[in-house]
Amino acid sequence: MKSARSWLAALAALAVWIGAHAAAEERTAPPQWIASWASGQQVPEPRNALPEEDLRDATLRQIVPLTLGGPRLRIRLSNAFGTAPLEVRSVTAALSAAPASARLAAGTLRRVTFGGRDRITIPAGAEYVSDPIALAAPAMSHLAVSLYLPEPPARQTSHPGSRATSHLVHGDHAGAEDLPGAKTIAHWYQLSRVEAESDAHAAAIVVLGDSITDGYGVQPDTDRRWPDHLARRLQANAATQNLAVINVGIGGNRVLLDELGPNALARFERDVLSQPGVKYMIVLEGVNDLGTLTRDAPVGPEAHQALVENLIGGFRQMVARARDRGIVAIGATIPPYGASSYYHPDAANEADRQAVNAFIRAPGSFDAIIDFDTALRDPADPTKMRRALDSGDGLHPSLAGYEAMANLVPLELFAAHWTPLIALTFDDIPVHGPLPDGETRLGAIRSMAAALKEAGVGEAYGFVNAASIAREPELGDTLEAWRSAGYPLGNHGWSHLNLNEVSAEAYIGDIVRNEPPLRRRMRGKDWRWFRYPFLAEGDEAGKRAAVRRTLAQRGYRIAAVTTSFDDYLWNGPYARCRGRNDEASVGELERLYLEAARESIRRDRDLAKRLYGRDIPYVALLHVGAFNARMLPRLLALYREHGFRFVPLAQASADPAYASDVSPASTPEPVGLGARLQARGVAAPPARSFTNTLDGLCR
């Protein structure tokens, strides 16, 4: 595994380079189309082909699993193996009400057009992509694509191993909400891909394989292939939710010769390189090449050697072609199949497998590896699969085996698209701290909102203390300016009380008193986020419980904090230094501010990885102030330099790391990553204090 670790390190370095160069282009990058689902296309075997009469005057409704969501979709119809033009009419798309059903989710039916027309004729050997479909589809949802065929294809283009139920009725019923009495078949026909509109961070992982990847043994409509499990893992991790998994496995497929479907090299351009947004390729092929060599009769040593050499040559071709397109090539070792009665391998076949796997593991052969062989083999007999992970045929993993395969894939392989996420929140509106002469609170708010807009930050909650507005009504303009920029407001308590110093009753009253200004300005939008002033959640359990109980009753979520560097400390020194026209000291303040921010990013990410073994989506606590307004453009650029993507507070807070923070009804944990780490008996590195240095400036 040493070689695997070295390639992971290389990928991590590549990720840093990509992140640094992509940040400058991100703000202007247009949306892009990413493959969300696709399947390997082939001519169906006679037992899997539909009779011609079934596809004459017929509506075919097919259900496919999407691994990446988006606000708009496109579908691709295929006549790749047709021998004559294929006419298709009345194409529709909708979210499926249930994967095994022909019923559509209410209100989601959309007509699909091609160049503005509702019918197309696809030439023999061609594929057609639709116009964009205004249908928002979540990741891991199921899409129902219906198409009406007046005449059957001259030769069908299909994916027999769909492990999904398709529905067939005669007549044009593409727009029907359901197809009662439809004939059902577990194959896909004439449909090759669905694409989702996504942002510049998204990408696709294409898995090229045989029946192990295609999901042999998986029951229809259950989505339990190993790439399905991998897609769910990626979606469960906020840092990798921008990755799709595209399964182009074909049962019986071989690298070098046609068997079931075109050989892997022949279909490589269409099934791998042409997938929109592909940035990673996983190759798990070769067992059928090895097994068929001697399935029917033994062969001599020369034939064994030639097969190994040719198979390695085929892998080299795929890797070279992938690298030419900037695709990270990941090799998967071939699992043991020594107990297969279908291939009945002997010692020579096992030697061939070991030789091919040695090539896959060798540094430089691929950009990284996934060692399925080591994970699946029986320690007592490495030529065979572990019994608990074997389907029973000695060749294909069981359902538990497929899940184990997916869990084995290190998500760090996709480091170049492992994007740390951060939600920005700002406390103390109307504005914290003193102002230099000539600056206003309204000006600071407007400046900060403009910087956020310029950086492409879509959401940033501003937490309000409205007491100062009651004293100075003109400060209400600061709230209006924040809202006019499109940013939401949350509750920070009427007068910024410290729960450690007042009663629960007084504190709750302060929360409730702060609600009318929020309700009035948010106009039905979500303002029920609460940020504890001073991050103080109470100096005794009863007080803490009483406030949390009230927050839960009033429908609040708690805005936790997982990264902060006490940025408010700079506002006072800035006002002093500006008052003295001491530009040199202002420059020192700027340097110290960015230094503190860098150290905070490093420390807080380190704490998160110690606690959770990964980057979590961070919630940043910042403050509205004069110096913060001056520095915000540079701070946002600093976050981008470190690879951060800005996300809404609710998205960051949905991560399991915030389970006890967000819900007031849950049992609270210590506040902050450092305190939480110490509660587990691990000493947290101390945060550097800048207080004395800042206090000494411009005195």
Residues 22, 45 within the same domain: no
Q: Is 25 helix (H, G, I), strand (E, B) or coil?
A: helix
Whether 610 is covered by a domain: the verdict is no
Whether 399 is covered by a domain: the verdict is yes
Whether 563 is covered by a domain: the verdict is yes
Q: Is 652 helix (H, G, I), strand (E, B) or coil?
A: helix
Give the Cβ contact number of residue 183 at 10 Å: 14
Q: Please report, as a single letter, which amino acid is at residue 498.
A: N
Question: For position 29, what pLDDT does the model report?
Answer: 55
| Residue where one domain finishes, among candidates 384, 415, 446 | 415
Q: Assess contact for 151 and 109: CB atoms under 8 A.
A: no
Q: What distance in Å separates the CA atoms of residue 565 and residue 595, rounded to the nearest whole number? A: 10
Mean pLDDT of the chain: 92
Q: Assess contact for 333 and 405: CB atoms under 8 A.
A: no
Residues 455, 361 within the same domain: no
Query: Which backbone phi and psi does 578 adopt, to 5 degrees?
Result: -65, -35
Whether 685 is covered by a domain: the verdict is no
Give the Cβ contact number of residue 442 at 10 Å: 17
Q: What is the mean pLDDT of residues 558-578?
A: 96
Q: What is the mean pLDDT of residues 71-78?
A: 97
Q: Please report, as a single letter, which amino acid is at residue 135.
A: L
Q: What is the mean pLDDT of residues 384-393?
A: 96
Whether 216 is covered by a domain: the verdict is yes
Whether 312 is covered by a domain: the verdict is yes
Which residues neighbour 579 within 8 Å (Cβ) at sequence distance 6 or greater? 436, 437, 698
Q: Are strands 119-122 and 58-65 parallel, antiparallel or unpaired?
A: unpaired
Residues 184, 214 within the same domain: no
Residues 213, 161 within the same domain: no
Whether 609 is covered by a domain: the verdict is no
Question: For position 667, what pLDDT does the model report?
Answer: 84
Give the domain CATH number at 267.
3.40.50.1110
What's the predicted TM-score (pTM) here?
A: 0.70
Longest dimension (CA), the chain: 95
* Angle at CA of residue 577, ends 571 and 581, nearest 5°: 140
Structural tokens at position 172: 């044009």
Nearest to 653 by CA among 243, 242, 238: 238
Question: Number of structural domains, the chain?
Answer: 3
Q: What distance in Å separates the CA atoms of residue 644 and residue 601, rounded to the nearest whole number? A: 10
Give the domain CATH number at 552.
3.20.20.370
Structural tokens at position 556: 């609040």
Residues 37, 142 within the same domain: yes
CA-to-CA separations, 689 to 592, 596, 604, 632, 693, in angstroms, rounded: 11, 9, 15, 21, 9
Q: Is the pLDDT of residue 334 over 50?
A: yes
Q: Is the pLDDT of residue 7 over 50?
A: no
Q: Give the model confidence (pLDDT) of 490-500 as tens digits.
A: 999 999 999 99
DSSP state of 346: -
Residues 325, 400 within the same domain: yes
Question: For position 599, what pLDDT does the model report?
Answer: 95
Residues 330, 354 within the same domain: yes
Whether 328 is covered by a domain: the verdict is yes
What is the domain extent for residue 365? 1-30+201-415
| Total residue length of the chain | 699
DSSP state of 576: H
| Residue where one domain finishes, among candidates 168, 198, 228 | 198
Please give the full DSSP string across 120-185, using - where no structure is assigned.
EEEPTT-EEEPPPB---B-TT-EEEEEEEESS--SS--EES---S-EEEEES--TT-S--TT-EEE
Give the domain CATH number at 39.
2.60.120
Q: Give the model confidence (pLDDT) of 595-637 as tens digits.
A: 999 999 999 999 988 888 778 899 999 999 999 999 999 999 9
DSSP state of 568: G
Helix (H) or strand (E) holding 233: helix 226-236
Residues 246, 295 within the same domain: yes
Residues 136, 220 within the same domain: no
Residues 358, 244 within the same domain: yes
Residues 518, 652 within the same domain: yes
Question: For position 432, what pLDDT does the model report?
Answer: 82
| Residue where one domain finishes, among candidates 179, 198, 217 | 198
- Burial class of residue 141 (count of CB atoms within 10 Å of its CB; 0-12, 13-18, 19+): middle
Residues 348, 264 within the same domain: yes
Question: For position 681, what pLDDT does the model report?
Answer: 87
